Homo-oligomer: A and B are copies of this chain.
């Protein structure tokens, strides 16, 4: 359970940065080298490498050294757990709204 929590911590933390989300979107089109990713992001290789490292630690990206460059592609983690958690939260939220609606309907009935 603690391990599961740590996986979710890392996944959500990795997604909490627009540059990292852009990297994932780009890799959805196919593999790319660090250099190819750095250009459009307007970043230095060093800056981009740090972001890729965070994504790699979260299992969202896999990298492989090919010759002199490092190739990146989408990793094995499908974010199913993160998705399941968000779905659960949405349900809590909707249930809360249902409760409020029932309350206001009741109030309306009492004052009419």
Contact = CB atoms under 8 A, between A and B. Distances in A.
Contacts of A10: 16
A64 interface: no
A60 to B, nearest CB: 8
Nearest to A25: B92
Tell me how many chains of this kind the complex includes.
2
Interface of A: 5, 8-13, 15-18, 21, 24-25, 27-28, 73-74, 78-79, 82-83, 85-93, 95-96
6 contacts: A8-B16, A13-B16, A28-B91, A79-B86, A82-B86, A83-B90
Given A27-B92, A28-B91, 14 more contacts: A5-B18, A10-B16, A15-B86, A21-B85, A25-B88, A28-B93, A28-B95, A74-B93, A79-B90, A79-B93, A82-B86, A83-B83, A83-B86, A86-B86
